[in-house]
Amino acid sequence: MLRRPVQLFNAMTRWERWALIVFACLFVLSAVALVRQFYVDNTVLVPSTGGTYIEGSVGELRPLNPWFTIQNDVNRDIVSLVFAGLLKYNPQTKKIEDDLATMQIASDAKTYTLRLKDNLLWHDSSAKDPHPVTADDVLLTFKTIQHAGFPNPLLQQNFRGVAITKLDDRTVQFALDQPYSFFPSNLTLGLLPARSFEGIPARKMDQALDFAYHPIGSGPYRFKSLVQTDLSTEVTLERFPRSIPPLEHLDRIVFRIFSDYSSLLTDLRTLQGVRLVPRNKKGEPIIPNRFRATNYTLPQYVALFFNLDHPALQDPKLRLGLQLGTNKQEIADAIHEPYIVDTPLLEIDVSDWRYHFDSDAAQGALFASRWNLPEKLRLQHLLENAQANHIGPLRAAPVVLVQTGSSFTITGSLADVPLGSKINGDSIAKNPHGTGSWMVQLPARGGTGALALGENMLRLTDPHGKVVDSFYVLRARDPDDYARAMEEQRLVQLFLASKAGTVPPDQRIGPGDFFLENGMLRRRTPGDPVSIRTNDRGKPLALVLLTSPAPAAYRDVSERIKQQWAKLGVAVTVEIPATRQEFQDRLLRRQYDVLLFGQSLLDNLDSFPYWHSSTKQKLTANPNALRSNAYNLSQYASFPADALLETMRRTSDEKERADTLKKLRDILKADVPAVFLYSPLYTFAHHENVQGIELGALSVHSDRFLTLYKWYVKQDRVFVQGKSWLSFFGWVRSLVQR
C-alpha cells in the first residue's frame, strides 16, 4: 500500500517535495492547534489532589493537646487540623455546625444530644487494628475537664454544672442546669482518644508528653513527624482519609516555627505561607514578591479598662471625661489600625457624642467630677477672699511685705470698731496720731495675733467676743514674693473686670489664661504645661496605666494616652512589666488604675465573662485564692447589666438577643467602665501558587484552616458537562458555520 505513495513522492521534483513537506507540517501544526483550542474551550481547570503547603510562623511549640492550647495560637493551628470536635465553627455562615456528630437540642434548651457519625476512626487505626471514635472518647474528653484536679481551670469553667451521660456507644447527652444558648461553642473542642490516657490521673494530663508530641486525633490531617533544627521546629502533617466530607486536596501540611520574624525571612524561599505578617512603620505588611497579603480581623477589641475598685474612678463623670479626651483616631493612625470601635460589641457609634473626641466637653466632665485644675481652685479661692474682704468694717492691704521681727499695723475708725474690740486676740488701741481712729500692731513672729508667712485670716471680734468681720492678708518677706503676689492680685482684678465687661475685649482674660507657679497665679505662656488636676482635698489626679510587654504596639498606645490625658490635667504613669508572668501577677491582683489590654469574644460573641459581676476578681491576701478566670478587668458591677447578660446567654430567640444587646450597649455607654479603642488588624500571606484561599469571618487565627478543603496547589483540566473528545467534530463544524 505504501509503494504507490513512495513512487509518487520519488517522481516529484525537488521543489515539489519541499512544498509537500511544508504543507504537511502546516497541516499537522494546524490540526494540533485546533485540537488544543478545542480542549481549552471545552474544559475547565479544577483543583487536584496532591501537593504540600509549608507555612512559617513565629512562636514556640508547646505540647499538642486540645486541653492546653487556649493561649498558644501556634499550637492551636496544628491542633485544629489534627483533632476534630463534635461540632465546628463555620466562618462562612458564622454559625456552629456539625462535625464528628449531629446535634439535637431539647425543647427546654438545656439538653444537648450528640450522636457520632458513621465510620469515624482515630489516626492510629489500621486494617488489623481499627480504632473507632466512640462515646467513651467523648466522655474522656469532657469528663476529664470536670475533674477537680484538672490543670486548666479556664477550660474547666465551660463545663461546670453540666451532666454528661453516655446513652449508647455513639450517643452522649449533655444536660445543663439552665439554658445556655452559647453552649454548642464548647463542643468544638477537639476530641481525644480514651485509650491513649488510660491510667493517667486527670491532674497529670498536662504531663502526658508522649501523646502531646505524637498526638493522635480524628481530624483531617494526622501527625507524621516533629523535627528540631538550628533554625526552626518543623511539624509535618499528612492527609488522613476520613469518611465525612469535605475532603482536603493537599497531601501534606508543614508548619515551620521560628523564634523571630528575621529567622523566618531567611527561610522564606521554602515557605508557601506566613501565619502573621508584621508591618513596617508605614503600616504596610512586610511580604516578599509573589506573596499575597490577606487582611482580616477577629472578634477582638483593645480597650482601656478602668479599675472601679479605686475610689476616684468610681465617678462616672470622671470616666466620661477621660473617654471624651481620648483621641482614638490619632492612636489608630499612629499604629496603623484602621478599625476603631466604641463598644464591646465591636461597633462604632458615630451618632453619640459620648464617643466623639472633644477636649472641651472632656474638660467640662472633669470639672463636674470635682477634679479641678489648680489654677481654677486658686482663682476661686482668691475671688472668695476678695469678696470677703469687700464686706465689713475691717480694711487692710491684701498683700503686705513684712520682714521677720517687724510688725504689721492696721488702722480704722472708732465709729466702725469700738474700743475693746480685738483682731486675732490683740486689743485695738486709740491711734495717737489720728483723732477718732484706732490701731493695732500684729507682730511677724511670736506673740498673740502674729502674722505667718503666706495667707492669714484676720478675725475682728467686738468687746463681747463676737466675730464681727474677717479679712484675708497674704504676708511676704521677700520683695520678689511680694511682687508676684501683687501681680496675682492685679490679674484677679483684671479677671473681674473682664467678666463685668469694663475692659476692652483684647485685654480680657479668662480662667484658661492663668498658670499656677509656686502657689501663685501668673499669666500663662505658650510653653506652660497643663497642670495636674486636684480634688477638694488637694490630692492630684494621678493614675497608673498598666499594660502588657507584648504586643509592641501597646507601648506606643500607652505613651499616647499619657500625652492625651496630660492635656486634660491627668498625670499618667505607664508601667510595663519586664515579663509576661509579672504582668499576669499584677493583672490577677488588679494592681492598676487603668489597664490597656485586649479581649476576644470568640465565635459566640458572648460578653458575659467580661462584664458580669460574678467574674470580678475577689481580692484577698491569699494569692492562691485569686481566680485566673476573673475576666472582668474593670471590676464592673451592674444589676441591670447582669440581668441582660444572663438573658443573652439564656435566650435562643434572635430578636430578643438583638434587643438585649441594644439595652446592654446603652447601659455600658452610660456607665463607661472602659474606653474601647480599636479592633486589631492581622495579615496572613501566602504564595501565589496556593489557590482557593477564602478566610471568611474568623473567630480565632486557626479558623483560617476551616476552609482548608478549598486550598490547592495542583490543578487538572476536565471537560465541562456534556463535552468529551467525541464532541470535537461537532465543534469543528460549528467553527466552519460561523
Please state the domain extents for the chain.
Answer: 47-83+219-298+682-738, 85-210, 300-371+540-678, 374-523
Mean pLDDT of 545-556: 94
| Distance, CA of 732 to CA of 716 (rounded, Å) | 24
User: Per residue, what are the HEC states of 489-541?
Assistant: HHHHHHHHHHHHCCCCHHHCCCHHHEEEECCEEEECCCCCCCCCCECCCCCEC
The helix/strand/coil state of 702 is helix
Q: How many residues does the chain have?
A: 738
Residue 688 gets which letter from DSSP?
T
- The C-alpha atoms of residue 619 and residue 310 are separated, in whole angstroms, by 13
The pLDDT of residue 528 is above 80: yes
Least confident of 225-229, 281-285, 447-451, 520-524: 447-451
pLDDT in tens, 623-651: 778 888 899 999 999 999 999 999 988 88
For residues 300 and 253, give the distance between their C-alpha atoms in angstroms, rounded to a whole number: 28
Long-range pairs of 316-319 with CB within 8 A, sequence gap ≥ 24: 316/670, 316/671, 316/672, 317/365, 317/366, 317/368, 317/369, 318/365, 318/366, 318/369, 318/371, 319/671, 319/672, 319/673
What values do phi and psi take at 227, rounded to 5? -125, 130
- pLDDT on residue 284: 86
Least reliable range by pLDDT among 111-125, 132-146, 357-371, 712-726? 712-726
CA distances from 520 to 178, 389, 486, 513 (A): 64, 19, 10, 13
Asked if residue 551 has a cis previous peptide bond (ω within 30° of 0), the answer is: yes
CB atoms within 10 A of CB 325: 25
273 class by beta-carbon count within 10 Å (0-12 exposed, 13-18 middle, 19+ buried): buried
| Whether pLDDT at 40 is above 80 | no
Place of cell 490540526: 31
- The model's pLDDT over 189-200, given as tens digits with 9 standing for 90+, comes to 999 999 999 989
- Exposure string for 91-101, b = 16+ CB within 10 A, e = fewer: beeeebeebbb
* Prior bond of 66 cis (ω within 30°): no
Who wins on pLDDT, 623 or 476?
476
CA distances from 226 to 4, 78, 305 (A): 71, 12, 41
Place 654 in a pLDDT band, splitting at 50, 70 and 90.
Answer: confident
Judge whether residue 255 has pLDDT over 90: yes
Residue 28, pLDDT score: 81
Distance from C-alpha of 718 to C-alpha of 290, rounded to nearest angstrom: 27
Residue pair 664/641 in contact by the 8 Å Cβ criterion: yes
Which superfamily does CATH assign the domain made up of 47-83+219-298+682-738 to? Periplasmic binding protein-like II (3.40.190.10)
Residue 417 predicted with pLDDT over 70 = yes
pLDDT classification of 1: cutoffs 50, 70, 90 = low
Q: In the block, which residue shows the cell 489516626?
A: 123
Q: Is 550 exposed, middle or buried (0-12, 13-18, 19+ CB in 10 A)?
A: exposed
* 561: its cell numbers: 494616652
> How confident is the model over 370-374, as a mean pLDDT?
90
Q: What pLDDT does 327 receive? A: 96
The answer to whether the beta carbons of residues 66 and 79 sit under 8 Å apart is yes
Once rounded to an integer, what is the mean pLDDT over residues 411-429?
90
Are residues 273 and 685 in contact, defined by beta-carbon separation less than 8 angstroms? yes
- The string of DSSP codes covering 274-290 is ESS--B-TTS-B---TT
Mean pLDDT for the stretch of residues 14-32: 78
The highest-confidence range among 232-241, 534-543, 718-727, by mean pLDDT, is 232-241
Tell which CATH classification among 3.90.76.10, 3.20.80.10, 2.40.110.10, 3.30.420.40 matches the domain 85-210: 3.90.76.10
pLDDT range class, residue 721, cuts 50, 70, 90: confident
d(CA 312, CA 309): 9
For the cut 90, the answer to whether the pLDDT of residue 39 exceeds it is no
Binned at pLDDT 50, 70 and 90, residue 240 comes out as very high
115 vs 169, 187, 263, 458, 494, CA distance in Å?
A: 9, 12, 46, 90, 84
Q: Determine what percent of the chain is predicted with pLDDT higher than 70.
A: 97
Angle between helices 359-368 and 316-324 (to 10 degrees): 170
pTM: 0.84
Furthest C-alpha separation in the chain: 162
| Grid cell at residue 158 | 465551660
pLDDT confidence of residue 219? 96
Question: Under DSSP, is residue 304 helix (H, G, I), strand (E, B) or coil?
Answer: strand
- Give the closest residue to 643 by CA, choosing from 612, 609, 605, 610: 612
Residues 326-335 have a mean pLDDT of 95
**CATH number of the 300-371+540-678 domain:** 3.10.105.10
DSSP for 374-400? HHHHHHHHHHHHHHHHHSSS----SEE
pLDDT band at 738; cut points 50, 70, 90: low
Taking the C-alpha atoms of residue 657 and residue 659, their distance in angstroms, rounded to an integer, is 5
In sequence order, what DSSP letters do the residues of 639-676 get, joined into one string? HHHHHHHHHHHH---HHHHHHHHHHHHHHHHHH--EEE
Q: What is the pLDDT of residue 73?
A: 86
User: How far, in Å, CA of 710 to CA of 706, rounded?
Assistant: 9
Give residue 285's pLDDT: 87
Query: Residue 10 has what pLDDT?
Result: 67
Residue 146: helix, strand or coil by DSSP? Answer: helix
Residue of 611, 531, 542 lying closest to 312 (CA atoms): 542
Residue whose C-alpha cell reads 492680685 in the numeric block: 489
Alpha carbons within 13 angstroms on the beta-carbon side of residue 324 total: 21
For residue range 434-455, what is the model confidence (pLDDT) as tens digits?
778 999 988 887 666 788 899 9
Q: What is the mean pLDDT of the chain?
A: 90
Say which residues have a Cβ less than 8 Å from residue 20's Cβ, sequence separation at least 6. 9, 12
Q: Among 243, 55, 204, which residue's Cα sits nearest to residue 705?
A: 55
Is 675 or 445 the better-scoring residue by pLDDT? 675
**Can you tell me the distance from the alpha carbon of 7 to that of 301, in angstroms, rounded to the nearest whole number?**
88
Q: From CA 75, how far away is CA 65, in angstroms rounded? A: 8
Distance CA 554, CA 263 (A): 24
